[in-house]
Structure 1
Amino acid sequence: MAQFEIFTNDFARLRTFYESVFGWTFVPNGSRWAISTGDQGPGIDGSMVELSEKLTNGVDQCCLRMVVDDAQETYGAVLAHGGKMGTSPLPVPDVGLLAFGEDPDGNGFEVVQLVPDKPPYPA
């Protein structure tokens, strides 16, 4: 994967959510916002673009997987900043703790706290 895009009609709300919960940074780039997810561990950068029926043909969701240090802390931060969580973080053998959530616009994501010394993706 080269990058990701999050679609929204409320740039300010989602920018605040992702900055507050995951520490991402945003830089205006024409009609979109460039997103930097940071330089710690594996990951990619992306952009936030205006939701447009013409552009997405009705497909307006994405699912992001974020590796975090503390799944329970992130769970609380998501709720505190207007997101939703499906369940509390649940143990997954040989992976760690996993929880599914949504940002304030309903874009889905996974939060994963990995088992120590375990790579985030299969080799």
Structure 2
Amino acid sequence: MARPVHFEIHATDVERARSFYTAVFGWSIEKDGDRWVIRTGNGEPGIDGTLLARQGPPPDPAAPVNGFLVRMLVTSIDATTLAVEAHGGEITVPTIPVPDIGLFAVGRDPDGNIFQMVQPDPFPT
């Protein structure tokens, strides 16, 4: 069975995207040549990624989903959705409960990329 092992975020304004994801999710994002390496947590389960300069036009802002949807595990959906908005993003789907799974919300970063957040119920320890 294939499973995700890496992700890429394409941004028109790479510095703005780096600042957004560092502030909202606490990721470490460091320059490496013509790309930025994203570390989502040393020694923790999950995958790392790359931040790249967008090679074409940005996604259509009216599209409900504009590409591959990445879901981030968060400890507080309320705090995270507030952080998204405080750092220039927007919440496109407000928090909704999914029975026996948790709380979900969908956000858009300042560059138009869509992502999902989940606060599991109960949160894994």
Q: TM-score, normalised by structure 1?
A: 0.84
Q: Give runs of aligned pairs for residues 45-84 of structure 1, distance below 5 A.
A: 45-53=48-56, 61-84=67-90
* TM superposition shift of 1:117: 5.4
RMSD after superposition: 1.8
Residues 75 and 117 (structure 1 numbering): CA distance in 2 closer, same or farther, change over 3 Å? Answer: closer
**1: CA distance between counterparts of 2:27 and 2:51?**
12
Structure 2 counterpart of 1:104: 110
Compared CA separation, residues 117 and 11, structure 1 to 2 (3 A): closer
Deviates most, 96-105 or 35-44: 35-44
User: Which letter does structure 1 place at the counterpart of 2:53?
Assistant: E
- Partner Cα distance (1:97, 1:117) in 2: 10
Aligned to 1:92: 98
Q: Indicate if the aligned counterparts of 2:11 and 2:52 stay in contact, CA closer than 8 A.
A: yes
Alignment match, 1:35:
38
Percent of aligned positions that are identical? 44
Q: Distance in 1 between matches of 2:34 and 2:91?
A: 30
Mind listing any 5+ residue stretches in structure 2 that lack a counterpart?
A: 57-65
Task: Give the letter for the 1:76 counterpart.
Answer: L
TM-fit CA distance, 1:42: 2.7
Any conservation in 2 of the 1:61–1:106 contact (CA below 8 Å)? Answer: no
Gaps of 5+ in 1: 54-59
Contact (CA 8 Å) 1:6, 1:48: kept in 2 or not? yes
Give the structure-2-normalised TM-score: 0.83
Q: CA deviation at 1:30?
A: 1.0
Contact 1:62 1:107 in 2 (8 A): no
Contact 2:75 2:123 in 1 (8 A): no
What's the CA shift for 1:87? 3.4
Listed one character per residue, the Cα deviations across residues 23-52 of structure 1 (whole Å, up to 9, x for unaligned) are 001111110000001137531000001111
Kindly tell me the number of residue pairs found equivalent between the two proteins.
113
Secondary structure of the corresponding residue to residue 85 of structure 2:
helix
**SS state at 2:94 partner:** coil
Consecutive aligned runs of 4 or more in structure 1 exceeding 3 Å deviation: none
